[in-house]
Amino acid sequence: MDPLIILFIGITVLVVMIIVLRLNAFIALITCAMLVSLLSPGEISVKISRVATEFGNVVGGVGIIIAFAAIIGKCLMDSGAADKIARASLKMLGEKNASTAIMGSGFLLSIPVFFDTVFYLLVPLARSLCRKTKKNYLLYVTAIVAGGTITHTLVPPTPGPLFMAAAFGIDLGLMIFVGVLVALPSAIVGLVVCKLLDRKLKIPMREYSTMSEPVPLKEEELPSLWLSLLPIVLPVLLITSNTLAKGINAPVDFLEITGLVGHPVFALFVSMVISMYLLVSKRSLTLRQLSGKVEEALLSGGMIILVTAGGGAFGAMLRQAGLQESVASWVTVDEQGIGLSILLIAFAVASLIKFAQGSTTVALITSASMFSAMGLSNETLGFNLVYMATALGSGAMVGDWMNNSGFWIFSRMSVLTEIETLKSWTVVTACIGFCSITVTLILATLLPMT
């Protein structure tokens, strides 16, 4: 069977299972992986076992990192470290630049913490600011979106970017560096859009009807700023130091050291230990209580690991179908601009998958599985594959509407109607996505890194 037909069947069945049948993304991805494997060439006796093998390979590559990141996020939230970072940003920039402080806090915190959790943390701060200033409510809550969604989608160790780095064989330090490089201008543009929407829509802050306002922690109950930042900044520095050392061809002895401390598993492990210490010291937890907190984090992280590995198995089976050879027949190095065209196609595909099923992470995993199975390389594209990842991430921010859980979290926590949410949340995320693909295309042209 033609590989492109197999791809069409696999994607169609996947979308139907998630949208129509409302099945869990893990079940849908594994089912489609097995279906694609059965339709692909090979001995009948290995067609199911190779799905399990590839599933295990992905878990071995990213499972520990996702688990550590989930624990770090939980500890940062429960210890008050995330709250400390947000308050420090506001204090440093002042009330006049409160929206920038909120956007920056969301930008930083969404690197190790899931966006939904970051929004839960920051929305009380936005509401408190609105009570003081008597204005700019929509600006404050959408500023969280402008900062948080972009790093959640482009910067590891959040699961989507982490999977894309693994799928395309991108160095994790390079993925972090380029992800931030694309995310920063996009977040700034997003903040400008937030300000324009706030002036145009003039949405007031409304009181909660079914829940009480969260009570913030006292300042003395929070950890110090440098210790709060350490679990976020340290692993980024360690991982990127290894990337930089390899890039400048550092001495072998130095490379051995950076290869150890800059390995993502080691870097995230150190960060996890620091974040657990923060939680124990600030909340006076017993080891049993700490164990309970860790188990809560692993329960949420476990599902992400399953979905991620299911997507990896799906992509591997598309390679078994011969998708790479099929694509090679119509993609040649000599074609001018073919790389940029593929980036735009990737952007459109990720947007379509996001619009169809709602989840950003599933959109990234599914689209990255498809394009990584095509066997594209730096030489074929004319630039580094990291830009393929940022193009997919850009697309996954467009088409954000009522089938996304984030839409409803934003709507309910901000006390906005569905129409108001479409006019704010959906517009902001779309603008950020289009800005991100623009930055990606510019960087791929000016800084190809082949």
Is the CB of residue 231 less than 8 Å from the CB of residue 164? no
Residue 154 binned pLDDT confidence (cut-offs 50, 70, 90): very high
Residue 1 binned pLDDT confidence (cut-offs 50, 70, 90): confident
In angstroms, rounded to a whole number, what is the distance separating the alpha carbons of residues 345 and 351? 10
pLDDT of 381 above 60: yes
Nearest to 187 by CA among 154, 231, 158: 154
- What mean pLDDT comes out for the span 122-133? 92
Structure tokens at 213: 């306002």
Q: What CA–CA distances, in Å, run from 21 to 25, 156, 191, 360?
A: 11, 31, 37, 19
In angstroms, rounded to a whole number, what is the distance separating the alpha carbons of residues 154 and 19? 25
Residue 155 binned pLDDT confidence (cut-offs 50, 70, 90): very high
pLDDT of 333 above 50: no
pLDDT over 70 for what percent of the chain?
Answer: 96
Residue 2 binned pLDDT confidence (cut-offs 50, 70, 90): confident
Per-residue model confidence as pLDDT tens digits over 174-194 = 999 999 999 999 999 999 999
> So what's the pLDDT on residue 330?
59
> So what's the pLDDT on residue 380?
86
pLDDT of 87 above 50: yes
- What mean pLDDT comes out for the span 269-276? 96
pLDDT of 64 above 70: yes
Is the CB of residue 157 less than 8 Å from the CB of residue 264? yes
The residue to which tokens 């850009």 are assigned: 394
pLDDT of 336 above 60: no
Contacts of 221 (CB under 8 A, 6+ apart): 80, 282
Please state the pTM of the whole predicted model. 0.91
Nearest to 243 by CA among 351, 132, 108, 384: 384
Per-residue model confidence as pLDDT tens digits over 313-324 = 999 999 899 887
| DSSP symbol at 285 | -
The residue length of the chain stands at 450
> So what's the pLDDT on residue 328?
63
Q: Report residue 271: phi and psi, to 5°.
A: -60, -40
Three-class SS string for 357-401?
Answer: HCCHHHHHHHHHHHHHCCCCCHHHHCCCCHHHHHHHHHHCCCCCC
Contacts of 100 (CB under 8 A, 6+ apart): 93, 143, 191
In angstroms, rounded to a whole number, what is the distance separating the alpha carbons of residues 233 and 109? 10
> So what's the pLDDT on residue 292?
95
Contacts of 89 (CB under 8 A, 6+ apart): 101, 102, 104, 105
> So what's the pLDDT on residue 331?
55
Cα within 13 Å of Cα(302), Cβ side: 6
- What mean pLDDT comes out for the span 260-283? 95
Three-class SS string for 132-181?
Answer: HHCCCHHHHHHHHHHHHHHHHHHCCCCHHHHHHHHHHCCCHHHHHHHHHH
- What mean pLDDT comes out for the span 203-231? 86
- What mean pLDDT comes out for the span 19-48? 92
SS3 184: helix
Residue 4 binned pLDDT confidence (cut-offs 50, 70, 90): confident
Is the CB of residue 363 less than 8 Å from the CB of residue 409? no
- What mean pLDDT comes out for the span 271-296? 94
